[in-house]
Structure 1
Amino acid sequence: MKNFLLITSIILISRISVIAQVEVELFEDQINHTINKNIYGHFAEHLGRCIYDGFYVGEDNTTIPHKNGVRLDVIEALRDLEIPVLRWPGGCFADTYHWKDGVGPKNKRPTIVNQWWGGVVEDNSFGTHDFLNMCEVLGAEPYLAANVGSGTVKELADWVQYVNHDGISPMAKWRKENGRDKPWNVKYWGVGNEMWGCGGNMTPEYYANLYKQYATFMVDWSNSAGLYRIASGASDNDYHWTEIMMRDIPKHLIEAIALHSYAVIDWNDKGSATAFNESQYFTTMERALNMETLVTKHSAIMDKYDPEKEIALFVDEWGGWYNVEEGTNPGFLYQQNTMRDAMIAGTTLNIFNNHADRVKMANLAQTINVLQAVLLTKEEKLVLTPTYHVMNMYKVHQDAKLIPVSLNNNTSYEMGGKSLPAVSVSASLNDKGEVHISLVNIHVTKSVKVDLLLTDLKAKSITGQILSSDHLQDHNTFDNPSKISQVSFSSFKKRKEKLEVSIPQASVIVLKIK
């Protein structure tokens, strides 16, 4: 007999006085895939105050506690978040970055003009050793994005040898001279970034040929090093790009293909991060929920050429993108983080979880002080954003077994003649036998009454956490850093095999059943 959970939700839909029913079945007898922990990855670009003044405050800083220049409060927060992988140094910056400028004595490193982000001059004081050593401290796998747009094949091949070679070689010798004896054994390598845009404005056919050249010289023919070579993938719904990558690149030269998609209201006017109305919120969520369509359609193209699903899909840039905060550098992309961002994070992560058969990594853009950041810093202060708390709640899904879900008759969140599903859900089973169910209600005004039927699930104990606030525009500030945080959730009643749950409007809930 199949195990399943049945969620029945009866609410009055906003603007339509109709009773709607939501049913969600969880099929424990159909578990086939693991939710790769790297779906909960992050992205750190040399952009604005993400690296400098975010992660890195310098080794000579005497006012902010640090380890080798990396803020200790950042280390603590990200270790608590259990971040599995961190992508660096870009982004668009990657295809202007020459890694050899960032190694060796810091007082001898050349400067660089960050032509993409604000035109600021950087001193290359944060380079390969700093990043890879920091990843070791964080317990995160590094993901290096290589320079294809303005670099060379030899430059990338040398970088692979520098960080990974454990024998006698010119680059290994140089690494040891620079203070690192053993290699870092970096697994994940992006072969360029956004080659359709800031990486070189290339056609997919041209880039596919260029990719093959770079990938060939990264490792030997058998790829005995076990590298994950990641092709620069499509933007949003450019399905032709994915088609060409899958058609033209042989399987022995590629392990993953990327996808970038942001929840943007309008690229010409992205709107305020905090002073937005419900219509703007609705449009943002429409864009965020479109990730389901994007992942489904790109995966279908990949299935044509790779039915065994040997090539992974990495959504290595995603998140909300708004206008910068007033008075900040437009090139620094600094924005606040509200409950709207929590809705984006919760629904998007549910989508990735449910596509665990193909999606093996995702990298939120970006970690600190840029776009949909999980951390904000100001001098000695640090703020955990609502997005941080969602990812902290969801970390229970990392490397757990995906429980397939079937959601029928989802109630609608409607506006302007458009309709969005109000409820989002994913579920997993960990190696302790615990089931975790993550639920999101994106509706602004209506709570959801849920009947959770525990038919074949032996629920000895049930606990929960919730993230919510009075207004979607609410956010944490340096003066009030704890306005929004995850708290215990107990708005449920157990009645035999049924659990009655109330999900407030605009909230994220994670239940643990064991």
Structure 2
Amino acid sequence: MLKPRLRWVLPTLAMMLCLLSANLVRAEVNISIDTTQTGPTIHRNIYGQFMEHLGRGIYEGVWVGEDSTIPNTRGFRNDVLKALKDLQVPLLRWPGGCFADEYHWRDGIGPRDKRPVTINTNWGGVTDNNAFGTHEFFEFADMLGSEVYINANLGTGSPREMAAWLEYMTADGDSTLAKERRSNGRDKPWRIHYWAIGNEAWGCGGTMTPDYYADLYKHWATFAKTSGDNKPIMIASGGHTAQTEWTQTLLEQVPETWSMRMNAISHHYYTLPTGNWDKHGKALGFPETEWFSTLFNTLKIEDYIKENLAIMEKLDPENKVGFYVDEWGTWYDVEDGEDPGFLYQQNTIRDALVASVNLNIFHQYAERIQMSNIAQMVNVLQAMILTDKEKMLLTPTYHVFKMYIPFQDATSLPIAINGDKGYSLGEDKIPTVSASAARDKKGKLWLALANTHPTEATDVTINTGSKIKQAKGSLLTAKAMDAHNTFKNPNVVKPEAYKRKAKNGKLVVSLPAKSVMVVALD
């Protein structure tokens, strides 16, 4: 007979071994890709970037001036230029944002030393010497090979000011404005791809009602004239978060006529860990509850998209009007020691997951969502790049966007996820696995995967209806929930090559906890 103490020890050891073996059991998920069907094209401009006169987003982040000690090309910093070229940025949105509705374009043309110094009342009350204006923006876009998206100043501007700006940019004759553009260094007209009348008309753009804005849109759009065949896609300022009334009102009240048009409605959605605008939550040092709540809240965007698209299907069944999410991303409390008006925040592996799951959602609704702009490109909110004077680093979000390049202009494919038991915390649950599949222009099949769970890995079995030899691509993951890159250690979070061969005709990829994977299926 065992002594009492040993009788207690042995069951305890058995229990520990049982728990250990349970933890070693990996979750299994099955993903089926229907390669016989095709969905809409995933427009490259879903990967658009947003740059605003806000904090160090443009000044220092992009523009340092020709006399700067930071290596630059005609005033644009070389390291940022190279990184963005590598990212294949398809679209740039400028000058805002809230800043757009106080921006007067004449402040940003002509000799830089003669441009007026203005106050940025939206973001920190700092002065702006207007060194970065119309010519600089178009030159920057040309350097990157990007299309352009410009917001007109509805809040403090006028239809006449907007019409003059459009003539200055697009006229190809001998008008006074065309001659002025030439005297300022640009001979040929610029191409404008997207043009928006106002921004966030419900808030910083004028605190308007949908009905009032709809009337203003019709008024202004009538005079948004460009020369020749330079016809930008016209965008109306829509709602945000769970709002649908802006979409409905605009579709009901803005008809398509010979004199004006509305090609798309914008929508904004920011992800806050707390869901509370008074205290957003920290970018670093957060608990698992905020890891979960961030992903839980970011996934709500799909419901908001569905609700708006249901209205659009009813009022615009021919799909003439797009739904553009032209501001999205995470918004945390500002880093300690930073100016609250500069919206500078760190960027972690959590942000990489947010980027991945949002892009997967946009792919799913690509028929209507043909453009989106993450906020923002450099040094602001969920940035691609962070700088500190001459230093620069690439964020986890940058790496996700680069991994997803094969999806630009690819053809989406139907996908089914089975066996996902979900990731639960408290009474709430989210999917463990987010995924998207597409075939690129060369016929190659691509799959993007994200594991939202911060501590548990998942094995994913992939089926396409035909034999797959291997999955090959890149994997982004990290040890800590708030793992991030710093100027001293800029490669803490970066992608690694990933390759997995099929065994016995079965392809299973290992998806680590808190990871993003993009692979070609050969």
Shared fold, TM over 0.5:
yes
Is 1:281 aligned to 2:291, yes or no? yes
What is the alpha-carbon distance in structure 2 between the residues aligned to residue 161 and residue 373 of structure 1?
33
Shift of 1:224: 4.8
Residue 182 of structure 1: how far off its partner (Å): 0.4
Q: 1:474 to 1:465 in 2, by over 3 A?
A: same
- Asked whether 1:241 is paired with 2:249, we answer no
Offset at residue 158 of structure 1 (A)? 1.2
1: CA distance, partners of 2:469 / 2:171: 51
Map of 1:462 onto structure 2: 471
Q: How does 1:360-399 map to 2 (within 5 A)?
A: 360-399=370-409
Are the aligned partners of 1:43 and 1:86 in contact in 2 as well (CA < 8 Å)?
Answer: yes
2-side partners of 1:497 and 1:117: how far apart?
57
Mapped pair 1:108 → 2:114: yes
TM-aligned CA deviation for residue 25 of structure 1: 2.4
3-state DSSP of counterpart to 2:520: strand
Counterpart among 259, 262, 268 of residue 267 in structure 2 = 259
Query: Which structure has the larger Rg?
Result: 2
Q: Give 3-state SS (helix, strand or coil) of 2:136's partner.
A: helix
2:507 to 499, 505, 512: 499
- 1:31 matched residue in structure 2: 38
One-letter amino acid of the structure 1 residue matched with residue 472 of structure 2: T
Aligned residue number for residue 142 of structure 1: 148
- Structure 2: stretches of 5+ with no match in the other structure: 1-18
1:320-348 Cα shifts (integer Å, max 9, x gaps): 00011100100000000001100100100
Which aligned pairs between 1:122-271 and structure 2 lie closer than 5 A? 122-219=128-225, 224-252=229-257, 253-264=261-272, 265=274, 266-271=276-281
2:277 partner SS = coil
SS in structure 2 of the partner of residue 449 of structure 1: strand
TM-score by length of 2: 0.92
Q: Is the Cα contact below 8 Å between 1:94 and 1:192 reproduced in 2?
A: yes
Shift of 1:251: 3.1
Partners of 2:512 and 2:102 lie apart in 1 by 46
1:39-78 counterparts in 2 under 5 A?
39-61=46-68, 63-78=69-84
Structure 2: how far apart are the matches of 1:254 and 1:219?
13
The structure-2 alpha-carbon separation of the partners of 1:479 and 1:18, relative to structure 1 and needing over 3 Å to count, comes to closer
Q: If the length of structure 1 is used for normalisation, what is the TM-score?
A: 0.94
Matched, 1:92 2:113: no
CA distance in structure 2 between the partners assigned to 1:132 and 1:38 by the alignment: 17
Distance 1:204 1:293 in 2: 21
> Secondary structure of the equivalent of 1:210?
helix
| Contact 1:463–1:489 (Cα < 8 Å) also in 2 | yes
Contact 1:411 1:423 in 2 (8 A): no
Could you give the per-residue CA deviations for residues 345-386 of structure 1, whole angstroms, max 9, x where no partner exists?
A: 010000011111110001010000000000001111110000
Structure 1 residue 300: deviation in Å?
Answer: 1.4
8 Å Cα contact 1:321/1:372 also seen in 2 = yes
Amino acid at match of 1:115: T
Q: C-alpha separation between the residues in 2 aligned to 1:394 and 1:21? A: 24
The corresponding residue for 1:8 is none
Equivalent residue letter for 1:148: L
Tell me how far 1:409 sits from its aligned partner.
4.5
Aligned 8 A contact 1:453 1:497 in 2: no
Which among 432, 435, 443 is matched to residue 425 of structure 1?
Answer: 435
In the TM superposition, what is the alpha-carbon distance from 1:227 to its structure 2 partner? 1.3
Q: Aligned equivalents of 1:453 and 1:405: distance in 2? A: 10
Query: Contact 2:51 / 2:57 at 8 angstroms: preserved in 1?
Result: yes
2:381 partner letter: L
- Answer yes or no: is the 8 Å Cα contact 2:471–2:521 preserved in 1: yes
TM-aligned CA distance change 1:203 to 1:322, over 3 Å: same
Residue equivalent to 1:508: 516
Q: Provide Cα deviations, 1:182-219, integer angstroms capped at 9, x if missing partner.
A: 01111211110000000000000000010111111112
Query: In structure 1, the residue corresponding to 2:325 is in which secondary structure?
Result: strand
How far, CA to CA, are the matches of 2:503 and 2:354 in structure 1? 33
Further displaced range: 163-172 or 427-436: 163-172
User: Structure 2 counterpart of 1:404, which letter?
Assistant: P
- What secondary structure is seen at the aligned counterpart in 1 of 2:239? strand
Alignment of 1:401 onto 2:411: yes
CA contact (8 A) 1:454 1:498 kept: no
- 1:299 is matched with 309
In the alignment, is the contact (CA less than 8 A) between 2:50 and 2:377 conserved in 1? yes
Displacement after TM superposition at 1:123 (Å): 0.8
Query: 1:159, CA displacement in angstroms?
Result: 1.2
| Mapped contact 2:26–2:458 kept (Cα < 8 A) | no
Name the amino acid aligned to 1:489. Y
CA distance in 2 between counterparts of 1:431 and 1:224 reads: 28
Give the Cα–Cα distance (whole angstroms) in 2 for the partners of residues 369 and 336 of structure 1. 9
Which ranges in structure 1 are unaligned for 5 or more consecutive residues? 1-11
The one-letter code sitting in structure 1 at the alignment partner of 2:515 is S
Instruction: State the number of aligned residues.
Output: 497
Instruction: Report if aligned partners of 2:49, 2:377 keep a CA contact under 8 Å in 1.
Output: yes
Q: Secondary structure of 1:28's match? A: coil
* Matching of residue 359 in structure 1 with residue 369 in structure 2: yes
Alignment match of 1:117 (pick from 115, 123, 127): 123
Conserved 8 A contact 1:454-1:499: no
Describe the superposition over 1:460-509 as per-residue Cα deviations: whole angstroms up to 9, x where unpaired. 5531210000011110000000111111013x341233101110010000
